[in-house]
Chain A
């Protein structure tokens, strides 16, 4: 897939990827004042598009940004952008920026929101090889944003802390970075949620995180297949002492960790609970259930 054929939707127009432009005075650029959501297509079907649109709507409401398009029209743009890119397996990002205020005006209510949708080939936080062998993580010193400052439930573009965390993880030679909150509880990583498995039961942090759609899907699959799973506060200790740890994300699905901070997790290879959940997730994706077709 050459990037020349990719198309970006920007404020009502479909333009080639390298010609897409927004104003540098857009506060989405100037201050990270924008919200977004990421969906994915697999085999030509966008997974749980209504759930992603609903989460985007909640982010918009929390950030007090008005989407330029009503939900139905927005869904059509997401599908159309992906279709124009010709991608059957795609990573699709929808961004609503607060927009640009008139020159010299600080009144944010005078901004006109902007809408950007792009699709690129499917992205893996841990690629298929790493999913087979398991990834290595480090718990970085950079902390998750406190709920009191900016609730991580809002999927916003103010993510410098995520990038600093990723740089720290890279410096430690890890594939991915995990973050604690100020009290030392495990939260999430840049773009993914975390599950620990202990005694056959799955645990995922309850708050201070993005409410991941893949995370939610894992809970639904667990309920459907009678696998014990619940929310629980976890510390670094709980991850080190877990039988298994895996990550969930729209970008890569369900991905195992086999090492955290130099400590092997469980037996140091992807475990049976991960494998079961991974297989159930991808069976669901392959089935097309909960999928919105991209191509007629």
Chain B
């Protein structure tokens, strides 16, 4: 894996040179927001939406990155461009943007913020085979944060609850994908992916109260309009998922990932459904990359940063 070019606090470095001050509150107390975009054939996808979401997160947590959204977008595109010569091995990239609050005992006196933009491998091997088999969703006991505590719309680094949810799901199936609920028992989201299900030809997803406003989630609404498939927001319970015809996750890297089992029960026929196939087909056409074929091709070639990938 090449040592990718990265932007960090006004400087151009390589990824291995990017180091966080251990007294930065981003590390010390998870006081950091971030966003993750991806490329298709080296071109960024909906970068503006990712940057706008990052700036909504920044505004909510009251961090001023010292860069305008335009500058952040320009830097992100430059990170992609600087790594374009070595893209062939990875196929495409994830682009990570993060802003910490910086050093300081008190949040209101802390700073300056650390701003970084890096590329990483997509991590195809985590999901490539799941386009065929489907993911196994596990409804975990760990709850989503309530929006009146810390709004899950803010993409932030204080995500211990997500980690506990992952561990909990792995107790049921080491390859399980956690699905969370809120304190009212409604389904919310996964740990970095949104949840959809299909009932009687209608695509349904939890409303955005208390879930990340996924850029891929928004794409499903756009594709639904284009394909003539109704997409609605609804309060959904585990019952709706157990009895759905199809289910799927959306996330920046895999785009749309079928969910064929939940809590060891088959969803619908137990195999990936036709609506997931249509969404992936339409999405692939728009970005000019066969999403599934690309994942299958690159998954075995990936040398991952950790055994389980990212």
Contact = CB atoms under 8 A, between A and B. Distances in A.
A206 interface: no
A171 B167 contact: no
Contact of B167 (A174, A180, A236, A262): A262
Given A171-B172, A172-B171, A261-B168, A139 B141 contact: yes
Contacts of A43: none
A88 interface: no
Contacts of B139: 141
Contacts of A174: 171
Contacts of A184: 143
B141 A141 contact: yes
A173 B171 contact: yes
A261 B263 CA distance: 16
Given A141-B140, A261-B168, A262-B167, A171 B185 contact: no
B256 to A, nearest CB: 25
B171 A138 contact: yes
A172 B140 contact: no
Interface residues of A, number: 16
A6 B263 CA distance: 37
B181 interface: yes
A160 to B, nearest CB: 12
A47 B168 CA distance: 39
Contacts of A236: 141
Interface in B165-195: 167-168, 171-172, 181, 183, 185
A176 interface: no
Contacts of A143: 185
A139 B143 CA distance: 13
A168 B263 contact: yes
Contacts of A138: 171
A236 B143 CA distance: 12
A182 interface: yes
A171 B183 contact: no
Nearest to A168: B263
B297 interface: no
A141 B139 CA distance: 7
A172 B172 contact: yes
A223 to B, nearest CB: 34
Contacts of B264: 171
B141 A262 contact: no
A251 interface: no
A140 B141 contact: yes
Interface string B269-291: 00000000000000000000000
A249 B139 CA distance: 28
Nearest to A262: B171
Contacts of A172: 171-172
Interface in A134-161: 138-141, 143
Contacts of A140: 141
A172 B139 CA distance: 12
Interface centre among B139, B141, B172, B181 (most CB of A within 10 A): B141
A140 B143 CA distance: 12
B273 to A, nearest CB: 23
Contacts of A141: 139-141, 181, 238
A216 B168 CA distance: 32
A296 B171 CA distance: 51
B144 to A, nearest CB: 12
Contacts of A173: 171-172
B40 to A, nearest CB: 36
Nearest to A179: B141
A20 B264 CA distance: 35
Interface of B: 139-141, 143, 167-168, 171-172, 181, 183, 185, 238, 263-264
10 A-B pairs with least C-beta separation: A141-B141, A172-B171, A172-B172, A171-B264, A171-B172, A141-B139, A139-B141, A262-B171, A141-B140, A140-B141
9 contacts: A140-B141, A141-B139, A141-B238, A171-B172, A172-B172, A173-B172, A261-B171, A262-B167, A262-B171
Given A184-B143, A262-B171, 8 more contacts: A168-B172, A172-B171, A172-B172, A173-B171, A182-B183, A182-B185, A261-B171, A262-B167
